[in-house]
Amino acid sequence: MKILLFVLIIISSISFLSYGITHFTSSQMKDEFKRFGLEKFGTITAILELLGAVGLLVGLRYNVVLLVSSGGLSLLMLLGIIVRIKVNDRFWVLLPALIFMLLNLLIFYITLNFGTVILKLDDSGSLLNGQSVTYGPVSGKLVISTYAFKKIRN
């Protein structure tokens, strides 16, 4: 589950970073917002995509940030789907928004129910004994994983 969550986060983060940057570097993205009649929301949408992408990466360390970022990106994509339906876009055109909405909902679900993988660092910023740490939001307990789980703090 940890590897799946990590891969999903990386895929989503890279995608939203590129979409957000593309808004500022390509007139095609700006033209899309004009076509939707939402030209004034293009920049804020790009900023939200960039913040969400960075939040997913920060969320590798902090569950709350991951939940907010994946939930926010899911909502953003739902709004994108609604807009595309209103302008009568074909299904294939709204499919990327649907896929990214589902991807981020999956990240949200996994994080909410199973916690996330974070890397525990020592004071120098190096991995602590090369072990990964899992934080379960439901239990609120920090556990260190090797082959077995041990409770190290309440």
The pLDDT of residue 61 is above 60: yes
- Per-residue pLDDT reduced to its tens digit, 4-55: 889 999 999 999 999 999 999 999 989 999 999 999 999 999 999 999 999 9
**Structure token digits, residue 118:** 């974070």
Domain boundaries, the chain: 2-114
Please give the pLDDT value at position 76. Answer: 97
The larger pLDDT score, comparing residue 103 to residue 136, is at: 103
Q: Return the pLDDT at 144.
A: 37
Q: In this structure, what token pair is assigned to residue 62?
A: 């902090």
pLDDT band at 108 (very low <50, low <70, confident <90, very high): very high
Nearest to 50 by CA among 74, 69, 71, 66: 69
How many other C-beta atoms can be found within 10 angstroms of the C-beta atom of residue 133?
19
Whether the full predicted model's pTM is greater than 0.85, yes or no, is: no
pLDDT per residue over 82-93, tens digit each? Answer: 999 999 999 999
- Joined together, the tokens standing for residue 154 give 């309440």
For residues 10 and 14, give the distance between their C-alpha atoms in angstroms, rounded to a whole number.
6
User: What percent of the chain is modeled with pLDDT above 70?
Assistant: 75
59 vs 69: CA distance, rounded Å: 8
